[in-house]
Amino acid sequence: MTTDETVAVTHTYPPRAFLAVANPIVRALATSPLHRLVKDYMVLHVTGRKTGKDYAVPVAGHEIDDTLTVLTSAGWRRNLRDNPTIEVTRKGLRGPMQATLVEDADEVAQGVAKKVEELGVRGAKQIRVTINVDRTPTMDEYREAARRDGMALVRLTPHT
């Protein structure tokens, strides 16, 4: 890619300093009676695959193909490879869910493209996706972003 070419799609991760302040606040609100203040957020309770340590990860949830889904590039997702049964606090209620980690760039690209189509270019910021071109990105451009930015989907379904 030359310097004159624009990357069509980017996925950004908030700065660590911001997360250090925001995550405890979102975590506290999402698990409290005030959960309506952070209505799109929930807390995933995951166990570290190497350490066995419990983590409470605040994330934004979105419906993609009628499935509650998290779009992330964060490292915590790797914990789901070995232990996909997790607890989720959503709308103030905590319960078991099955997390399916999707790291295949084609599948991630399709999910992101569907959500961007639903939200529109400006609304894509809700999932921390930026469209940097004045047209609809191609599936190849979504796929490139998924690979380059390390995007993954976590699909959450009720644990049976």
CATH number of 9-158: 2.30.110.10
Question: Which residue in 40, 21, 13 sits closest to 130, CA to CA?
Answer: 13
pLDDT digits (tens, 9 = 90+) for 17-67: 999 999 999 999 999 999 999 988 999 999 998 899 999 999 999 999 999
**Which one-letter amino acid corresponds to residue 127?**
I
Tokens of 101: 């980690």
Residue 76 has a pLDDT of 94
Summary mean pLDDT of the chain: 92
Distances (CA, A) of 95 to 13, 135, 137, 160: 27, 41, 37, 11
Residue 39 has a pLDDT of 86
Residue extents of the structural domains in the chain: 9-158
pLDDT digits (tens, 9 = 90+) for 102-115: 999 999 999 999 99
Task: Report d(CA 9, CA 138) in Å as an integer.
Answer: 9
CA dihedral 112, 91, 48, 78 (to 10 degrees): -10
Reported pTM = 0.91
Q: Is the pLDDT of residue 4 over 60?
A: no
Q: Is the pLDDT of residue 2 over 50?
A: no
Q: Confidence band (pLDDT; 50, 70, 90) for 153?
A: very high
Tokens of 1: 């890619």
The secondary structure of 71-117, three-state, reads: EECCHHHHHHHHCCEEEEEECCEEEEEEEEEECCHHHHHHHHHHHHH
